[in-house]
Amino acid sequence: MTAITGKLGVTKRPGELGIHSMDTFHMVVPDLAVAQDFYTAFGLDVREEGDGLGLYTYGSPHRWASLGEGARKKLSNLSFGVFEEDFEAIRKRIEAEGVKLLDAPRGFDSNGIWFMDPFGVLIEVKVAEKSSPASKCAFEVKSCPGGQMGSMQRSKAPQVRPTRLAHVLIFTPDVVGSIRFYSRVLGLRLSDQSGEGICFMHGIHGSDHHLLAFAKSSAPGLHHCSWDVGGINEIGMGAAQMAGKGFTKGWGLGRHVLGSNYFHYVKDPWGSYSEYSADIDYIPVDHDWDAGDYPPEDSIYLWGPELPKDFVVNYEAAD
């Protein structure tokens, strides 16, 4: 693979065009103070920025998400990163597909390309450093020899702090149409799907099994944002950490089938979820993943509690 100029150790697929990362997303929520409490409890570094909030992970300068305040919860936009040398070529491809370019929304300082996908999701494409991992992230499973205590005391357990945004799953009226659009326009590739119900897409320059996923609904909306932690123990401690702050609704502990990651979802105050995730499948830059189409019973989870009845309800859809 060809090294990126000035980016030692970063590689890309030569001669192929596509975004490399989910850079950030923006969401509006009814109460920023409630959001600050929720995401702080989750283990994120929540910073006041202007009239909103920025979501960071400790030890990283990257802003993974931003939040504004509005009448109801709403996914505002998704922002994707491209390599600098690919930016103009991506712009030309977007325009060649007949996609209308838009001005940046009021309040957004951006030199990127803005446009709407066919289903009502506002998209930004901009030059950014690659934030998706260059290799599979470390996954820790510890044991200990006989005669030693394997666990720490609960009173001494550290706060669980995710290391990065892993992916987002959004609702769409047309899963198959979303696969076509995001493949053709942004260069994402299909990892796996289950008919017209759900699909998972990855970046061509090396990414997790999915950095973006789609689930069927009557309207766009955010289902969940997923955050990487180091192992199953961290997932369990994160769930306990949130329960201790009163955030007890969710789903987990379990293991997914498509993507293979271990998970626990915590329901936020607006009906979407934040996921603790570990050990997701990784698709290297030089690997062509064999995408499958799986029946529903083989597309959600290998083991775990029964799926909550409202888990796939889109609370951003009109009543």
Report the 3 state secondary structure along 118-154. Answer: CCCCEEEEEECCCCCCCCCCCCCCCCCCCCCCCCCCH
Domain that holds residue 291: 16-131+161-303
- 88 lies in a domain? yes
β-strand pairing of 212-216 with 164-172? parallel
- 316 lies in a domain? no
CA gyration radius for the chain? 19
- 53 lies in a domain? yes
- 144 lies in a domain? no
pLDDT band at 2 (very low <50, low <70, confident <90, very high): very low
Helix and strand counts by DSSP (H, E) for the chain? 4, 22
- 34 lies in a domain? yes
- pLDDT at residue 40 in the model: 98
Domain CATH code at residue 249: 3.10.180.10
- 113 lies in a domain? yes
- pLDDT at residue 116 in the model: 97
User: How far apart are alpha carbons 163 and 57 in whole angstroms?
Assistant: 6
- The arithmetic mean of pLDDT across residues 14-19, rounded, is 93
- 151 lies in a domain? no
- pLDDT at residue 6 in the model: 34
Question: What's the predicted TM-score (pTM) here?
Answer: 0.93
pLDDT in tens, 43-86: 999 999 999 999 999 999 999 999 999 999 999 999 999 999 99
pLDDT in tens, 145-192: 898 888 888 888 899 999 999 999 999 999 999 999 999 999 999 999
- pLDDT at residue 109 in the model: 82
Is the pLDDT confidence value at 314 over 70?
Answer: yes
- pLDDT at residue 319 in the model: 55
pLDDT band at 139 (very low <50, low <70, confident <90, very high): confident
The two structure tokens encoding residue 141? 């499973």
User: How far apart are alpha carbons 81 and 12 in whole angstroms?
Assistant: 13
pLDDT in tens, 98-126: 999 999 998 888 889 999 999 999 999 99
- Rounded alpha-carbon distances, angstroms, from residue 125 to 9, 67, 118: 23, 19, 16
- 6 lies in a domain? no
Number of domains, the chain: 1
